[in-house]
Amino acid sequence: MADRNQFKLAGVMGMPIFQSRSPIIHNHWIGVHGVKAAYGHFPVQIDRVEAAVRGLAALGMAGCNITLPHKVKAMPLMDHLTPMAQRVGAINCIVVQADGSLHGHNNDGYGYIQSLKDEKPDWHADAGPITILGAGGAARAVIISLIDAGAREIRLLNRTREKADQLASIHPQVVQVLDWSQRHAALAGAAMLVNTTNQGMYDQPPLELHLDELPRTALVSDLIYVPLETPLVKAAKARGHVAVNGLGMLLNQAVPAFEAWFGIKPVIDAALRQKILATF
Ligand code: NAP
């Protein structure tokens, strides 16, 4: 935790990075709480990650967020990894300790679960089968957090089946892998559908999926937030589903990071949501 009387710097490290909305989030809370601090973008090339991360303590920084493509590469540079960071195999947040040591965290799963609860306060992970599409970096944090939250049956489907098979080893009793071609059948009886693929992002085609088999009571969750309303989210809302986009995950993962750096647990208020929405 930072000394409240000392000016502190934090930021987000990645490449490319200037599209990141994290500075809007943290600088909003810095203003709300009158913290003597600032949060910026740090464009860091892959071959400079080690130098940049080692510089955090030397510069007296509070820490930083780590995003693509550095989330895995920065891990071995940590002096300590939280159990969650170890399980996910990637970090998204570094906290510089008073003695200069670096602690690596992964708050993506926390942000994900919190975003579901924000949208549907009575949501329960054990309400029924959860169908998850995609088995990339984000899927791992999502699956671990859903299992921790009590999920008892996860159907996992990925275009490249081997990656899904690998992820299923997290908890083979809970995670059942199906072929990508079975994705429509895998919607039958599901309590929740999660898209962790990049299909539907602004620069990608829509996810090839129709929702006919999905019970109308199912919660639909898309990790994408650019655009805010993917074709999947749009189609789900048209069928009457509660549909959650990825913005809440982004906002909520920032809460524990800010608290670790500055010692204050911030709130995602309406003003912050408005600032973020104004950027779309
Ligand atoms: P990633 O590691 O590159 O994984 C991409 C996933 O998309 C893989 O499962 C990949 O399948 C699948 N995919 C790609 N092209 C496909 C296609 N044509 N048809 C079907 N599946 C396809 O990416 P990631 O880091 O996991 O991120 C995934 C998404 O989550 C992105 O849209 C990202 O913006 C979003 N995300 C959001 C947040 C948030 O805070 N809201 C945080 C992290 C990520 P293969 O294995 O077959 O290639």
pLDDT value at residue 4: 55
Paired tokens of 54: 């080692």
Tell me the pLDDT of the chain averaged across its residues: 96
Residue 207 DSSP one-character state: P
- Which residue CA neighbors atom 13 of ligand 1 most closely? 197
Mutate to test the pocket of ligand 1, among 118, 181, 196, 198 (most ligand atoms within 8 A of CB): 198
pLDDT value at residue 3: 57
- Which residue CA neighbors atom 46 of ligand 1 most closely? 160
For ligand 1, the distance from its centroid to the CA atom of residue 203, given in whole angstroms, is: 12
- Average pLDDT on 248-273 reads 98
- pLDDT band for position 135 (cuts 50, 70, 90): very high
DSSP E strand stretches across the chain: 8-14, 37-43, 63-66, 80-81, 93-96, 102-105, 130-133, 154-158, 175-179, 192-195, 219-222, 243-244
160 CA closest ligand 1 atom index: 47
Residues lining ligand 1, judged by CB closer than 6 Å?
A: 108, 134-139, 158-160, 163, 196-199, 201, 223-225, 246, 249-250
Residue 99 DSSP one-character state: T
Domain boundaries along the sequence of the chain: 8-107+250-277, 121-241
247 CA closest ligand 1 atom index: 41
- Average pLDDT on 74-88 reads 97
Domains 8-107+250-277 and 121-241 share a fold: yes
Q: Is the pLDDT of residue 169 over 90?
A: yes
pTM of the model as a whole: 0.96
pLDDT value at residue 127: 97
CA 48 from chain centre, in angstroms, equals: 24
Catalytic residue (one of 8, 36, 71, 275): 71
Q: Is the pLDDT of residue 5 over 90?
A: no
Q: Residues 243-259: pLDDT tens digits?
A: 999 999 999 999 999 99
- Average pLDDT on 132-161 reads 97
pLDDT value at residue 211: 98
Q: Provide Rg for the chain, Cα atoms.
A: 19
- Average pLDDT on 128-134 reads 98
Domain 8-107+250-277 fold: Rossmann fold (3.40.50)
pLDDT value at residue 239: 98
Q: Residues 82-106: pLDDT tens digits?
A: 999 999 999 999 999 999 999 999 9
Q: Residues 12-63: pLDDT tens digits?
A: 999 999 999 999 999 999 999 999 999 999 999 999 999 999 999 999 999 9
Residues 6+ apart with CB under 8 A from 31: none
Contact predicate 144/132, CB 8 Å:
no
Q: How far apart are CA 175 and CA 177, in angstroms?
A: 6
pLDDT value at residue 208: 98
Q: How far apart are CA 248 and CA 116, in angstroms?
A: 8
Nearest to 139 by CA among 215, 20, 211, 246: 246
Place of tokens 């003695």: 99
pLDDT value at residue 6: 83
DSSP state string for 18-85: TT--HHHHHHHHHHHHT-SEEEEEEE--GGGHHHHHHHHHHTT--EEEE-TTSTTTTGGG-SEE-HHH
pLDDT value at residue 24: 98
Mutate to test the pocket of ligand 1, among 159, 163, 229, 255 (most ligand atoms within 8 A of CB): 159
- Average pLDDT on 149-157 reads 98
pLDDT value at residue 201: 96
200 CA closest ligand 1 atom index: 32
117 counts as catalytic: no
Which CATH code for domain 121-241?
3.40.50.720
For ligand 1, the distance from its centroid to the CA atom of residue 137, given in whole angstroms, is: 7
